[in-house]
Amino acid sequence: MTRPLAPLSALAVPLPSRPTNYPPPFDRLVAGRRKRKLGDYFGLKNFGVNLTILEPGAMSALAHHHSLQDEFIYVLEGTPTLVLGEEEYRLEPGDCCGFPAGRGIAAQLVNRSEQPAAFLEIGDRTAGDEVVYPNDDLKAVQSPEGRWRFTHKDGRPY
């Protein structure tokens, strides 16, 4: 679908019909996360941009790292906690962090505060990416068409 290039409020971009691609039982772990896919809405092909809001107690994703795709976050409001490998960092509005592909360091944001947290997620769309979830029996492989296929770590499908 071709959309006009006129600006609009990021909050006007509709939420996806499915709040996550994770298979059960992992899908329920990101309850309380609302992700507006701004890049998809505007038809961006080379990189994605998401406006993500985490309610208190919610997490952005399972701890993960990418083989090929870089990621970047920029905090807009609230004080989410960045879990980066074995370290934790309390972030504030204006804080940012980049996650180069292929480093093998898992990351996720968790909202341990009493207020919602909002941040931008920006990532490239390099084809053939694989995602490792070191704390969970989960692996994601991207198809040539850009779709994600989730399996157990031993390759069995969910």
pLDDT tens, position by position, 84-99: 999 999 999 999 999 9
Residue 87, in any domain of the structure: yes
Scan for tokens 């969910």, then name that residue. Answer: 158
DSSP class of 157: B
In percent, how much of the chain has pLDDT > 70?
97
Q: What is the pLDDT of residue 145?
A: 84
Residue 3, in any domain of the structure: no
Question: Looking at the whole model, is its pTM more than 0.85?
Answer: yes
Whether the CB-CB separation of 122 and 132 falls below 8 Å is answered with no
- Domain containing residue 79: CATH number: 2.60.120.10
> CA-to-CA distance for 116 and 62, rounded, in angstroms?
18
Q: How high is the mean pLDDT of the chain?
A: 95
Residue 105, in any domain of the structure: yes
Q: Is 21 left (phi over 0), alpha (psi -120 to 50) or beta?
A: alpha
Q: In the predicted model, is pLDDT for residue 146 greater than 70?
A: yes
